[in-house]
């Protein structure tokens, strides 16, 4: 049985912010770090039924430290573990489960994109003809890159703000809504 460790009780996030897995996208790394922080909050305010969550914490930390090789199967395993955590969240009987489920939902969305990216990369390695087609498709899906490069030439500040807002809404809907609500710009 895993026991609550003093390391897991602290809320200093400097050690979390230093973690990074070079295989994952910035978005996935962000949600993995956010999950670690939220798990620490859970550990701080709960003292029982934490064994599975502590195991999940160390697993996520190992992924971010690159102690575990990220493969297609490893991503599937991570998605399964996160789904299992959400499905069984009531059994843990913990306070603050909402912050955990919210973060896991965002992380899962990002992991499904990683899964598709891995599948495309594997497909491109199988055949030279597929490689050029898939590479061009991946380039075309990076809409935010195209928008940002167009804005480098723009002199109109309103166009730049509008483009940035579109990127934030498309890629970070929850974080952007939180930001807007804190700034009193929430759309009703």
pLDDT digits (tens, 9 = 90+) for 149-186: 777 777 788 877 887 787 777 777 777 777 887 776 55
Alpha-carbon Rg for the chain in angstroms: 19
Name the pLDDT band for 8 (thresholds 50, 70, 90).
low
pLDDT digits (tens, 9 = 90+) for 31-71: 999 999 999 888 888 888 888 999 999 999 999 999 999 88
Quote the tokens at residue 185: 């710009």
Grouping H, G, I as helix, E, B as strand and the rest as coil, residue 50 is coil
Q: Nearest to residue 144, comparing CAs of 173, 170, 125?
A: 170
Cα–Cα distance, 144 to 35 (Å, whole number): 25
Cα–Cα distance, 21 to 23 (Å, whole number): 5
Distances (CA, A) of 185 to 169, 175, 176: 14, 13, 10
Q: Do 54 and 92 touch, CB atoms closer than 8 A?
A: no
């Amino acid at each position: 049985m895993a026991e609550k460790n003093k390391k897991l009780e602290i809320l200093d996030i400097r050690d979390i912010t230093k973690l990074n897995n070079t295989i994952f996208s910035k978005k996935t790394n962000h949600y993995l770090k956010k999950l670690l922080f939220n798990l620490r909050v859970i550990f701080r305010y709960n003292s029982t039924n934490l064994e599975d969550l502590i195991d999940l914490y160390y697993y996520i930390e190992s992924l971010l430290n690159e102690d575990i090789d990220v493969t297609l199967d490893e991503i599937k395993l991570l998605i399964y573990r996160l789904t299992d955590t959400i499905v069984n969240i009531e059994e843990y009987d913990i306070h603050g489960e909402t912050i955990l489920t919210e973060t896991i939902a965002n992380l899962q969305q990002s992991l499904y994109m990683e899964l598709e990216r891995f599948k495309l990369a594997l497909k491109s390695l199988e055949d030279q003809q597929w490689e050029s087609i898939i590479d061009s498709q991946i380039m075309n899906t990076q809409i935010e890159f195209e928008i940002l490069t167009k804005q480098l030439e723009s002199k109109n500040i309103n166009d730049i703000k509008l483009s940035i807002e579109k990127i934030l809404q498309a890629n970070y809907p929850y974080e952007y809504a939180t930001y807007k609500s804190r700034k009193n710009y929430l759309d009703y």
